[in-house]
A and B are shown apart, each in its own frame.
Chain A
């Protein structure tokens, strides 16, 4: 039995592991990826040689923590493992997981879910064509798989991450046709200048985006504002991206970047209280000042509690671990508060910038009206927006997301609703219904073969 099971090998999980292991706790860390790092530091396979992996001051601290975490004494790392569900027992939790070697059951007194986030899938005509990918997915091909996943790239959306991805593509020798923000530049800069708490010195994430912007312009890559993506064109594969003003740009990869949704499957399945993310409609675990969820023994840290970036995630991981040491009686109340105080101060500052970024990157205006009736909203089951509207408006039709799912099959495919739930709830709200709490989160949190569960 472990003292602590950490689900997620990214910055939040690593930060928690450092503190927990240093205090002598027996810690196991699980992730679907084969190596530690999460998505932001998604490492290449050990077999590949990589020149200058993730250059830039932004990543230095995170990389240092990653290297320390990989060498942590007392940390049992399980990569390539999918956690299917958490089950309470008298001593804590049983984690049921699956990996390359079949079923895995792990007992732990406490669980920390630091499962990160994923690109918010945004539906528009043609988005299911091969070649349309999330910007995060494109970035992962580059930084982790050392592959430029196409020939000519168009980036579009509302989130400044696309500037970094474009610049990374450019540095890798890719043909980047342009980066397109649906928001006007004036609107974005206006948000920036309007914030009275703007100390220019602490603007690392904005500096990175600005530096990427400058690099792109210098290299002749267009960065356009007020350019709303409206359609992906192609017959069997992506051939071009089309914008609201009629511009068409030939490309074989369209990387879309509209924001992120928390990975919330496990806290929801465990019955944790959740709250809705205002701008994306994702669901995030509700936590207290020690990162404890509403379920006894279960903590959450990082993007799972609300998308706010790696620096916030890391510090939430530290708070979660300190909270666990406090709960275990390994720290006194005053000692815990003393250790937490500087972290909380940093968090308060970082959270303000995260909020500013969220306001600048607000996707709602860009997304409204993007999908037409023929657009598929549920990719797995091919359920279009039109079919969902017909189901909602039918006599004796469904009034909440779970009921709509049942009748339309949206959310009943292999992705288990991760790609369409937010869109289904938004559609219900648009049609005048109260979307309710979303789809019921169910075991297993990831698809798993029957044979792997019965041996």
Chain B
């Protein structure tokens, strides 16, 4: 179970991940919000096996998710490089 250690932070915001509400901190990366919400699985591989974070710096491609920020078209993005936004809708693959 991951936990946050920042000394202070702004009011949390809500995003949706696969239809469920997830609490996130403005400014943190989507990957962090998912880990903090005890959601370490980001996708299933070609054999159907669960996969999670690996490099956390945009090189390994494990954390691609479909992201729709309000008013913007859906994109497949690396969760470790997407700062969360209020009302973001995320679908994992």
The answer to whether A and B interact is yes
Interface residues of A (CB under 8 A from B): 32-34, 39, 44-51, 80, 82, 118-119, 121, 128-134, 136-138, 140-142, 145-151, 172-173, 236-237, 252, 263, 379-382, 413-416, 418-419, 446-447, 449, 451-452
Report the bound CA distance from A50 to B8 in whole Å: 7
B58–A32 CB distance below 8 A: yes
Kindly identify which residue among A50, A129, A173, A414 contacts B7, using a CB–CB cutoff of 8 Å: A50
Tell me the bound Cα distance from A207 to B83 in angstroms.
36
Q: CB distance B73 to A451 under 8 Å?
A: yes
Question: Roughly how many angstroms separate A121 CA and B26 CA in the complex, as a whole number?
Answer: 31
- CB atoms of A147 and B4 under 8 A apart: yes
Residue contact A47 to B9, C-beta cutoff 8 Å: yes
Nearest CB of chain A from residue B61's CB, rounded to whole Å: 4
Q: How many A-B residue pairs have CB under 8 A?
A: 156
Point out the residues of chain A lying under 8 angstroms from B10, CB to CB.
47
Interface of B: prevailing SS: loop
Residue pair A145, B28 in contact (C-beta under 8 Å): yes
- B88 close to A (CB within 8 Å): no
User: Is B5 an interface residue, CB under 8 A from the partner?
Assistant: yes
Q: Is B56 within 8 A of A131, CB to CB? A: no
What bracket does the count of chain B residues touching chain A fall in? 35 or more
Asked if B41 contacts A128 (CB within 8 A), the reply is: no
Mark interface residues in B32-75 (1 if CB within 8 Å of A CB, else 0).
Answer: 10011000111001110111111111111110100000000101
Bound together, the chains give a CA A449 to CA B74 distance in angstroms of 10
Q: In the complex, what residues of A have CB within 8 A of residue B32's CB?
A: 141, 145, 147, 149
Considering the complex of A and B, which 9 residue pairs feature the smallest CB-CB distances, nearest first? A130-B52, A45-B27, A137-B56, A47-B27, A415-B61, A49-B8, A146-B6, A414-B61, A145-B32
Are A137 and B53 also in contact (CB < 8 A) when A47-B10, A151-B1 are?
A: yes
Chain A contacts of B6 at CB under 8 A? Answer: 44, 48-50, 146
Chain B residues near A252 (CB-CB < 8 A): 1
Measured in the bound complex, the distance between the Cα atoms of B68 and A325 in whole Å is 44
What residues on A are CB-neighbors of B51 within 8 Å? 128, 130, 379
- Knowing A44-B6, A382-B45, A382-B47, say if A149 contacts B53 (CB, 8 Å): yes
How far, in angstroms, from A48 to B73 measured CA to CA in the complex?
A: 28
- What chain B residues lie within 8 Å of A39 (beta carbons)? 57
A-B contact pairs, 25 of them (CB 8 A): A39-B57, A45-B28, A47-B10, A48-B6, A48-B9, A49-B6, A50-B6, A50-B7, A51-B7, A130-B53, A132-B54, A134-B54, A140-B57, A145-B29, A146-B6, A147-B35, A149-B53, A151-B1, A151-B2, A252-B1, A382-B46, A382-B47, A418-B61, A447-B61, A449-B76
- Docked-complex contact B54 and A121, CB < 8 angstroms: yes
A451-B76 Cα distance, complex, nearest whole Å: 12
- Which of A148, A263, A419 contacts B60, CB < 8 Å? A419
Bound CA span A141–B40, Å? 13
Q: Please, what's the 1-or-0 string for B1-24, where 1 marks a CB less than 8 Å from any CB in chain A?
A: 111111111100000000000000
Across the interface, A149 reaches (CB within 8 A) one of B2, B25, B61, namely B2
The residue among A34, A134, A145 with the most chain B CB atoms within 10 A of its own CB is A145
Q: Give the chain A neighbours of B53 by CB distance below 8 A.
A: 130, 133, 137, 149
Q: Which of B4, B50, B56 contacts A146 (CB 8 A)?
A: B4
Contact assessment for B41 and A237 in the assembled complex, using a CB-CB cutoff below 8 Å:
yes
Interface centre among B5, B35, B36, B47 (most CB of A within 10 A): B5
Q: In the bound complex, what is the Cα–Cα distance between A416 and B62 (angstroms)? A: 12
